[in-house]
Amino acid sequence: MEEKILSQEEIDALLAGLAEGKIETEPEKKVDVGEVKPFDFRNYTISTRLRIPGLEVISEQLIRSLRMHISTILREAVDIHSLPLYMERFKDFLNRIPVPTSIHIFKLEPLKGQSLLVIDATLAYLFIERFLGGEGKHVRVEGREFTPIEQKLIKKVVNIIFNELEKAWRNIIPVKAKYIRGEVNPQFARVLMPEETVIVMGYNIELEAISGKILFCYSLNTLQPVKEKLYSPYQFEEYIDLAWRKSLERYVFNSEVNLSAVLGKTTITLEDLLNLEEGDVIVLDKKIDEPVEVYIEGVPKILGKLGVFKNHMAVQVQKFLTLEEENIKKEES
């Protein structure tokens, strides 16, 4: 194919046509403004889900204990699920809380700052109905403040939650939940700066016909002193049911083990063994004043002194062997 080189006049004419719009070009792609979202570099961590091992351990233990207590209060089996842990600005958290809501302000002493416990109005009125003997199957959320009697009834549930919360925090740091006051309108629960970052830990409580949420709102500054412990899962003890633990201990402690005391050892030939007669003496490798080794299930565990107790041969415990000493004894044998 023959190449055609444009002359200077043709080039000038082409550029003039582009400038005057006589020559069509590819249309510019329009960007849908609705698809573009502003990005705030100052708050890039806000409103994101996160994983904090320590708070997850606290959450799991709290679910186990609250499931039992709330089922007892409501006289009905309930199911509790943890909600994703997330972080956002305090003002955004408050803006999502409807009115009315049972809001309780408290402090986790000795940690600084104030925190929030938020109970959905549906759950709050359900607790009140059940305390007063009602069924509470169709709870009507009323746009009013709780009466003094209703507040006292709700406070019973809050005290139970705080008591279990203290137990759940025990493996992180011993805390005391100090109740400050209760509110219905989130506008009166502004205990933190609007732009302050908070961590929200929540649970969804489901019954046969009603469901609601319980939320804990902690300031990031409140959790800062225990940050290392919250991010170190190996420091936490797994929650163990006390009844199950006692039952397991009972079975373990009643288990029978084979215990034997070895007076001494020696080596003889097969011929000498076959020629042994009554009255022959076998010389052992231990002296009479040396401690006797006591084996438990074939493992050397104790050194003792041979003697007699109530007309029975006995061994008096003198020392428990360490793991290193056990290994040495095994090698010698």
Reference 85, options 181, 185, 223; nearest CA is 223
Q: Residue 119: its pLDDT value, please?
A: 93
pLDDT digits (tens, 9 = 90+) for 243-286: 777 888 888 888 888 888 888 888 888 988 888 888 888 888 88
Question: What pTM, to 2 d.p., does this model score?
Answer: 0.58
Angle between helices 53-74 and 148-168 (to 10 degrees): 140
Query: What letter does residue 146 receive in the DSSP assignment?
Result: P
Superfamily of segment(s) 256-332: SpoA-like (2.30.330.10)
Buried b / exposed e over 152-173, threshold 16 CB at 10 Å, is: ebbeebbebbbebbeebbebbe
* d(C-alpha 188, C-alpha 213), whole Å: 20
Nearest to 220 by CA among 46, 57, 94, 40: 46
Q: Where residue 37 falls among pLDDT bands split at 50, 70, 90? A: low
Residue spans of alpha helices (H) in the chain:
8-20, 53-74, 90-95, 121-131, 148-168, 220-223, 227-230, 242-253, 270-274, 323-332
Residue 236: its pLDDT value, please? Answer: 46
Residue by residue, DSSP assigns 98-118 as -SS-EEEEEEEETS-S-EEEE
Q: Do 90 and 198 contact (CB within 8 A), yes or no?
A: yes
What are the extents of the domains in the chain?
Answer: 43-246, 256-332
- Decide if domain 43-246 falls under CATH 3.40.1550.10: yes
Task: Please compute, for residue 260, the number of CA atoms within 13 A of its CA located in the half-sphere on the CB side.
Answer: 7
For residue 236, give every residue at least 6 positions away whose Cβ sits within 8 Å of its Cβ, in sequence order, or none: 53, 54, 57, 171, 172
Q: How far apart are CA 306 and CA 302, in angstroms?
A: 12
Q: State the DSSP string of 48-78.
A: EE---HHHHHHHHHHHHHHHHHHHHHHTS--
pLDDT at 321: 84
Tallying the residues shown for the chain, one arrives at: 333
Q: What is the pLDDT of residues 80-123, one digit of tens each?
A: 999 999 999 999 999 999 888 999 999 999 999 999 999 998 88
* 3-state class (DSSP) for residue 249: helix
Bond from prior residue into 100 cis (ω within 30 degrees of 0) = yes
pLDDT of residue 238 exceeding 90, the answer is no
Average pLDDT of the chain is 81
Return the structure tokens found at 188.
């009166």
